[in-house]
Amino acid sequence: MKIENPNPLQWNFSKRSQQLQSSAIREILKITMRPEITSFAGGLPSPATFPVERMKAAFDTVLTNQGKIALQYGPTDGYGPLREWVADSLSTDGAKILPEQVLMVSGSQQGLDLLGKVLIDEGSKVLVETPSYLGALQAFSIYGPDFISVPSDEQGLIPSAVEEMGKGARLLYSLPNFQNPTGRTLPLDRRLALVEACARIGLPLIEDDPYGALSYRNDPLPKMLNMNPSGVIYMGSFSKVLTPGIRLGYVVAPVPLIRKMEQAKQAADLHTAQLTQMVVYEAVKDGFLQTHIPTIRKLYADQCQAMLDALQTYFPAGTSWTKPEGGMFIWVTLPAHIDSGALLKEAVEQHVAFVPGAPFYANEPQHNTLRLSFVTVPPEKIRAGIERLGKLIAAKL
């Protein structure tokens, strides 16, 4: 029942798909999953932080009490009680967030894709930090934007440039807390200045905040969302505070944008798994995260400190790095003549890995940068890995 000698298909892919390439990071991760390698390359949270028993109990409760509902199709905008929970958790006295401003998505990466889909035309101006989150650059790229890299320094994006550069742009994408890839945090005065600049020129400001809860101090900075709920699009995720393998995040935005994104989501995947949303609601509704998140902070803060100490001890003069106050990443700048892509090949031979910095730049990559994650490696391995890396760098000076 098979036809004879069919012609092989000549694939005629869409123009937009020429933009697609496999993420440099995910390709590296494949290599670095070999057990002998100490990998600082991952962007994965530590499995030690996953509340397996809590999740197991929540699945059991939901399937026992509401199994037929949880396993049925659900609404595109998300599970009502969870949207309410998100809205409440983001509301402040001055800025109340309503459930209808919340769209549940299949991980915040999907939020980025939907934003690109409904806001970006070919050639649209899109402002990004320097450097910026690679996953956002990838998600937006497929829609053909003209990326504008906003000047940034060790405190993050410099708001004074935005009003001039952002005229006529479709959005500004920012990650203000413990940024991926740099680990830097946008200070309060810059947040206010940025929110004001965007409001003056009517530029939608994306506040991507997957790491915000992972502050090593107990006083995270105010969210830009609450400074101007009618101009800021906030993106949150359960990946870093609960578990990533369930793929659950949310977008909070003014209602006209949420409705448009809801329509785009309906065409993209109908809705996010109803069961997952009900289980996460069951797991978090009683304040579980308030006791759970401090245990993640403690683990990551200790490992961050171990890496900062090791860098101080083993990295040669001429190198510099960020000192994150939360999150998962440290960003290293090497002397200008060292290409971190070439360095990675040698490092892998020495059984240590990191992510080269170049792919994080929308324009003009700086090849002497690299990203280190400290969250999945215990302190003694951090020290040994950083020592080996430091020696490789020192040999090039």
- The secondary structure of residue 100, as a DSSP letter, is G
- Both tokens assigned to 130: 């320097």
Which CB, 41 or 311, lies closer to a copy of itself? 41
Beta strands in the chain (DSSP E): 38-39, 102-105, 125-128, 146-149, 152-153, 156-157, 171-174, 205-208, 232-237, 249-252, 320-321, 329-333, 352-353, 355-356, 369-373
CB of 86 to a copy of itself, least distance (A): 18
Positive or negative: CA dihedral 104, 108, 109, 113: positive
Which CB, 273 or 306, lies closer to a copy of itself? 273
Which CB, 23 or 366, lies closer to a copy of itself? 23
CB of 109 to a copy of itself, least distance (A): 5
CB of 11 to a copy of itself, least distance (A): 6
CB of 135 to a copy of itself, least distance (A): 7
CB of 32 to a copy of itself, least distance (A): 14
CB of 241 to a copy of itself, least distance (A): 12
Q: Could you give the maximum distance between any two Cα atoms of the chain, in Å?
A: 71
Which CB, 51 or 357, lies closer to a copy of itself? 51
Task: For residues 148 and 236, give the distance between their C-alpha atoms in angstroms, rounded to a whole number.
Answer: 24
Distances 296 to 286, 302, 384 between C-alpha atoms, Å? 18, 10, 23
Which CB, 111 or 357, lies closer to a copy of itself? 111
Nearest to 332, CA basis, from 198, 199, 154: 154
Which CB, 132 or 333, lies closer to a copy of itself? 132
Which parts of 40-142 fold into alpha helices (H)?
A: 52-70, 80-90, 108-119, 134-141
Task: For residues 373 and 222, give the distance between their C-alpha atoms in angstroms, rounded to a whole number.
Answer: 25
